[in-house]
């Protein structure tokens, strides 16, 4: 009976210890994220671009524009006739009067506007669109994987707009970018995604 009581006591102690460790890790992660957010402002902006009939964008597919590769900016949403599609696929056609929501630094957005053929203006607030920061824990299955390998956009419908690694910000990282534990991912997409 004494052995059972001692064994039960050990199980309860280990469960309590593990729960305390999990809570401490979550608290540490939240404090780290808050500190990083306060110290490192993301220089990213949203801009709306209305596609004119005479531009290179009209009649193209999003993938054909190679916007992210050529300018660093990328298309977060496409609106046509009052319908908004967040994270449109590479095969999505672009028509005159479509409104594209672009994300990037001011310089990237200016380059994208020149490439697409028209000046951009500030984007209105979009309901249902959100940018969040996600901490990559030491035991995360994302650690050690490339952005292409994890397929965040394909799987979840969100885009990794930037990665904070220590003091360094990687804006608009490419598909071969390797995620490491401790990274903070800036992801953007629909609230549900």
Q: Sort 55 into a burial class: Cβ within 10 Å, 0-12 / 13-18 / 19+.
A: middle
Q: What is the pTM of this model?
A: 0.54
- For 62-84, write each residue's pLDDT tens digit: 988 889 899 999 898 899 887 88
Q: Which of 65, 137, 125 is nearest to 101 (CA)?
A: 125
Percent of the chain surpassing pLDDT 90: 12
Q: Which of 100, 103, 99, 88 is nearest to 154 (CA)?
A: 88
Percent of the chain surpassing pLDDT 70: 74
More confident residue, 147 or 125: 147
Q: In this structure, what token pair is assigned to residue 90?
A: 């590479």
Average pLDDT over residues 163-185: 88
More confident residue, 124 or 61: 61
Q: In this structure, what token pair is assigned to residue 179?
A: 């995620």
CA distances (Å), origin 99, targets 4, 30, 79? 69, 36, 5
- Residue 55 has a pLDDT of 81
Confidence of residue 12 (pLDDT cuts 50, 70, 90): low
In contact, 55 and 117? CB cutoff 8 Å: yes
Quote the mean pLDDT of the chain: 79
- For 98-140, write each residue's pLDDT tens digit: 899 998 899 999 999 888 875 444 444 445 667 788 888 888 8
- Residue 30 has a pLDDT of 63
* Range of lowest pLDDT (57-61, 63-67, 183-187): 57-61
Dist CA 163 CA 181 (whole Å): 11
- Residue 111 has a pLDDT of 92
Q: Give the count of alpha carbons within 13 A of 38, CB side only.
A: 6
């Amino acid at each position: 009976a004494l052995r059972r009581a001692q064994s039960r006591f050990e199980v309860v102690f280990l469960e309590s210890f593990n729960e305390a460790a999990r809570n401490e890790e979550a608290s540490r992660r939240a404090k780290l994220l808050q500190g990083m957010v306060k110290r490192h402002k993301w220089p990213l902006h949203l801009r709306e671009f209305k596609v004119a009939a005479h531009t290179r964008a009209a009649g193209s597919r999003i993938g054909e524009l190679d916007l992210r590769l050529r300018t660093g900016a990328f298309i977060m949403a496409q609106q046509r006739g009052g319908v908004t599609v967040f994270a449109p696929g590479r095969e999505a056609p672009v028509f005159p009067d479509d409104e594209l929501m672009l994300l990037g630094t001011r310089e990237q957005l200016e380059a994208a506007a020149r490439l697409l053929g028209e000046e951009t203006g500030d984007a209105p607030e979009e309901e249902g669109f959100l940018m969040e920061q996600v901490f990559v824990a030491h035991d995360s299955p994302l650690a050690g994987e490339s952005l292409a390998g994890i397929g965040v956009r394909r799987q979840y419908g969100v885009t990794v707009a930037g990665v904070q690694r220590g003091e360094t910000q990687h804006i608009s990282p490419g598909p071969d970018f390797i995620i490491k534990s401790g990274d903070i991912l800036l992801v953007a997409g629909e609230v549900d995604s």
